[in-house]
Amino acid sequence: MIEASGVSKAFGRQEVLRDIDWRVSPGESWGLIGPNGSGKTTLINLISGVEQPDGGAIALGGRPLAAYSRKELSRKVAVLQQDGLPSVAFTVREVVEMGRFAHQDWRGKEIGGPEAGRRLVDGIMERLDLKELEHRPLGVLSGGQRQRVALGKVMAQQPELVLLDEPTTYLDLRYQMQFMELVADWQQEAGLTVVSVMHDLNLAALYCSQLLVMSGGRVVAQGAPEDILSTELVAQVFGVQTHQVPHPDADVPQLLLRRERLL
């Protein structure tokens, strides 16, 4: 699905990514973790085509990313940023329907016919419990509700690859879990590939089958959470001492902070 080979990126004199080699297979769920400024969001921007690498190459589905037109790419890749959607006057339904842009012709008409698009949007609204909110303007919704609308817009896009940039940052614990469960269910049903930039290491271990650990613009480690997420790695990358315990249900590593010993 994604193949990054020797990818580098700089902004002015600041080198943000250095020689990134990374391969993502179809259907996998990856979590990108690392301290602030480690290059995670820049890597997401390169994969989505928002930024161009200064060195190396990125391929999507065995084809160079640069070979895709903007509309072709939007049929394959959807991005959800950490701040979700701005507080705009569009209604909930109108925002979700915006996700159909990639499947419209030059006149703005649904390629498969208006009824198919309408049924898809109706199903998404029901699935995300947005039906009762569909005529409300986005600006009156809570943060958790707006993030569900943002997810609905991404779902309407029907991508093959979903890029999530810190999608739970502004959500409370309940909405964090709800959001990640919705994404996990959607991924399983649609066979999606998901890449998520995450700060919560425990949440990443619970919902991501693979982790890419970054620091200083480089890849420090990559693999399954149970193989790489250790107290030594956290100390090295984040400068924090932790205890590690297995999750009682999922049997993946979970980390407890050690208050008395910060590096």
Could you report the per-residue pLDDT of 38-69, keeping only the tens digit for each?
A: 999 999 999 999 999 999 999 999 999 989 98
Number of domains forming the structure of the chain: 1
Q: Is residue 40 part of a domain?
A: yes
Instruction: Give the type of residue at 169.
Output: T
Find the range with the poorest average confidence among 15-19, 50-54, 111-115, 201-205: 111-115
Q: Is residue 86 part of a domain?
A: yes
CA distances from 226 to 128, 231, 238, 251 (A): 31, 12, 18, 8
Q: Note whether 24 and 211 are within 8 A (CB).
A: no
Q: Is residue 263 part of a domain?
A: no
Q: Is residue 257 part of a domain?
A: no
> What whole-number distance in Å separates Cα of residue 129 and Cα of residue 145?
9
Q: Is residue 240 part of a domain?
A: no
Average pLDDT, the chain: 90
> What whole-number distance in Å separates Cα of residue 103 and Cα of residue 106?
10
Sign of the CA dihedral with 205 first, then 206, 210, and 214 last: negative
Q: 């391969």: which residue's tokens?
A: 23
pLDDT, position 83: 64
CATH code for position 46? 3.40.50.300
Nearest to 51 by CA among 61, 42, 38, 40: 42
pLDDT category of residue 110 using cuts at 50, 70 and 90? confident
- By residue range, what is the domain housing residue 177? 2-225
Q: Is residue 253 part of a domain?
A: no
pLDDT in tens, 112-159: 667 778 899 999 999 999 999 999 998 888 888 888 899 999 999 999
Q: Is residue 76 part of a domain?
A: yes
Asked whether residue 190 carries a pLDDT value surpassing 90, the answer given is yes
Nearest to 45 by CA among 98, 6, 99, 82: 82
The secondary element (H helix, E strand) that includes residue 242 is strand 240-246
pLDDT, position 146: 87
Nearest to 254 by CA among 204, 177, 180, 202: 202
Q: Is residue 250 part of a domain?
A: no
